[in-house]
Amino acid sequence: MLFASGTSACAGHHCSGSSVGAVNTLVSLLVEGILSAQCNISNRTLWPEDYAEQALNHGLAGYDFVVIGGGSAGSAVASRLSENSNWSVLLLEAGDDPPQESELPIFSSELLNSKAAYHYTVEANNVSCKAFKNNQCRWSRGNCLGGTGSINGMVYVEGTPENHDLWCSQGSKGWCYDELRQFYTKAKTPQGNSSHPLGYVVLNPANATDMEFVELVTSAWDELKQNRLTQFGDENYLHYNFANVTFANGHRWSTGKSYLGKVRQRPNLKVIKNARVTKLQFDKEHEKLLSVEFVVREKRTMKVQVNKEAILSAGALESPKLLMLSGIGPFSHLRRLNIPLRHNLPVGRNLQDHVVLNLYFKMPPSPSSSGSNDLDGIYEYLMHGTGPLASFATGQLTAYLKTDKNTTTTSKNMHSYLVAMKKGSFQQLELSAQVSGLKDELKDFLRQQLEQHDIFVLYILLAQPKSRGSIKLKTSSSKDPPIIDAGYLTQTEDKLILMSGIEYALNLLETSSFRERQIELLRIPLPECDGYQFKSLEYWYCFMEYFSSTGYHFAGTIKMGAKEDNITCVDPELRVKGVRNLRVADASIMPRVTSHNTNAPTIMIGEKAADMIWKQWA
Ligand SMILES: Cc1cc2nc3c(=O)[nH]c(=O)nc-3n(C[C@H](O)[C@H](O)[C@H](O)COP(=O)(O)OP(=O)(O)OC[C@H]3O[C@@H](n4cnc5c(N)ncnc54)[C@H](O)[C@@H]3O)c2cc1C
């Protein structure tokens, strides 16, 4: 591996060049390049300075705006608010700068195993996740600046008109697609210049590492009459193509970098890293947030006074936890934990995720399976910022599908992508099995198959799941992870739609492209399902319970909607009901998860939140 896992080796260090002589020009160039790359791939100037030391030594004054969490949405909010030089903005982020593995797509599995990612174990529900240890899925999120946007797959796809019009028709006034389009546009419009930088999302089309495989799949999709898309964002994209990614010049561009790092010189914006917020403190009537309590470097508890507003952007798993710890949540749940109630709201309910089903296929190894030349790849990346190190797994080849032939709507019900594993790529399998918690016997079976075949996994995601889960507190300690009930496949309709996705996938096997390549479904031994006839409906419903897992698109746990509606927690201005100066701006406010990847819609939420705050206070 090129870099030490979980480290930012160059941060704060002076890096010297290699002392290797000119024995072999290419090798010495590479060694030189690797050493300097370790310093240049990610260094501290890409990120805002850490204000922790000053805060610890001199204490903190009050801030006009305190943003909790520097992830996809929080970074955008803090950056936009601090464009007003009259306002003081403090951002509190539980993690540190992302490690160097974050920069390159090739290290995504290592990254998920680093301290930049935080993992949760989801409760077993016995109708999903049975392929994973203790029948429990594992969920991950980013624990660093840029948040989950620093560890994600970088795919950038906006919400559809249908998604957002549903939000507004159900009481979220101001959140119709026509009203949101401006924020999607603002997020990706280059603004500012080197003397007055402004943040925005940096985007490029993804390159794939394995073009041979991409061509195979695209020709099969063509045979099935899936249209190739010219651009994601077309109104009715029931199509496939490579998505745009938050990646440029060989580097990831999370909002932590593109919105915050870019404006690191602003004197009115301070960022404290390794600052884990533990509690929100209110006035006697619980109507006004007075201060935010946090622990710096897991050592010292501090407090900051909020002069105008606080914005909670800790993500769909941690934002509800923090509200509940502070007394805002379901009455009966908080009472059980002896947490004094401030506001009785259904915080933590309405949890949604795009449940994903993994289907495995095998094929004879392609001639390129013998492995590419790693040195060539390193050389190309160091010299040009391109090549396999800067390319994406085939997962960025994404299809949005309508497999339900009975509806006349244009809405997508499935979202599908693929990941290919070449014969012998055991490390890739081991890492992903470790992150997901795949049961050992299943991993060993896949490993045996990889000794002889190429394998690819077709992922089928439910675009609009009906099942709902919940987040609850385990204890009243901020250190304990919450109890997560994913709720996967608890609604029959979700299973029916997944079944239509399986039928769609099996059609691929009938295409001449797949037949010529001798692609077969891989039958994974599952004693509980093997009693049913292979590929029968009963078999597939049983299989679904095993290989359903997370799409990593958690949303909805602090539901937005009309103020008077008792199933909502924040109003359409994102204010927590009953509190004047506390808003939530992250994926948790989505009343219904958007039909595909959630990063772009979450950044849009950050943009709109900042705009509403500007309108109120400027
Ligand atoms: C493995 C993976 C792959 C994904 N791939 C894609 C993809 O390719 N495309 C896509 O669109 N979406 C993807 N997603 C989802 C997407 O990245 C998220 O939906 C999005 O980043 C969520 O943004 P957020 O602002 O709500 O939360 P986050 O980005 O998670 O931000 C929350 C921030 O708050 C901090 N925080 C948490 N608790 C506290 C606390 N108590 N005090 C202070 N700070 C705190 C966290 O450290 C984090 O920085 C992926 C997700 C995962 C996990």
**Cα separation, 398 vs 418, whole angstroms:** 8
Measured between alpha carbons, how far is residue 539 from residues 8, 261, 529, 545 in Å? 47, 51, 6, 10
pLDDT of residue 200: 93
pLDDT in tens, 168-185: 999 999 999 999 999 999
**Cα separation, 88 vs 547, whole angstroms:** 48
Mean pLDDT calculated for residue range 356-362: 96
**Cα separation, 446 vs 426, whole angstroms:** 9
Measured between alpha carbons, how far is residue 5 from residues 9, 431, 474 in Å? 10, 13, 31
* pLDDT tops 70 at residue 39: no
Mean pLDDT calculated for residue range 129-146: 98
Nearest ligand 1 atom, CA 277? 42
CB 329 within 8 A of CB 323: yes
pLDDT in tens, 223-278: 887 655 555 554 444 456 777 899 998 899 999 999 999 999 999 999 999 999 99
DSSP calls for 522-576: -----HHHHTSPTTSHHHHHHHHHHHEE--S--B-SS-B--TT-TT-SB-TT-BB
Over pLDDT 90: what percentage of the chain? 70
* pLDDT tops 70 at residue 97: yes
Q: State the distance from the centre of ligand 1 to the C-alpha of 241, rounded, in angstroms.
A: 24
Q: Is the CB of 149 under 6 A from ligand 1?
A: yes
Report which protein residue has its CA nearest ligand 1's atom 4: 152
Mean pLDDT calculated for residue range 536-549: 97
Diameter of the chain measured on Cα atoms: 76
Give the residue, out of 552, 603, 604, with the most ligand 1 atoms within 8 A of its beta carbon, to mutate for a pocket test: 552
Q: Left, alpha or beta for 129 (phi > 0: left; psi -120 to 50: alpha)?
A: left
pTM of the model: 0.93
Q: State the distance from the centre of ligand 1 to the C-alpha of 318, rounded, in angstroms.
A: 10
Query: Between residues 369 and 309, which one has the greater pLDDT?
Result: 309
**Cα separation, 489 vs 301, whole angstroms:** 41
Report which protein residue has its CA nearest ligand 1's atom 38: 314
By C-alpha distance, which of 103, 79, 417 is closest to 232?
417
Q: Is 154 annotated as a binding residue?
A: yes
CB 250 within 8 A of CB 69: no
**Cα separation, 432 vs 416, whole angstroms:** 19
Nearest ligand 1 atom, CA 588? 26
Q: Is the CB of 350 under 6 A from ligand 1?
A: no
Q: Which two tokens stand for residue 597?
A: 């990847």
**Cα separation, 232 vs 245, whole angstroms:** 11
Could you give the 3-state DSSP secondary structure of residue 312? strand
pLDDT of residue 10: 40
By C-alpha distance, which of 537, 126, 585 is closest to 313?
585
Task: Please state the φ and ψ torsions of residue 569, each to the nearest 5 degrees.
Answer: -115, -35
Nearest ligand 1 atom, CA 143? 47
Report which protein residue has its CA nearest ligand 1's atom 18: 599
CB 430 within 8 A of CB 437: no
**Cα separation, 550 vs 353, whole angstroms:** 7
418 strand-pairing partners: 458
Q: Is the CB of 487 under 6 A from ligand 1?
A: no
Q: Which two tokens stand for residue 435?
A: 């992150």
Residue type, 258: S
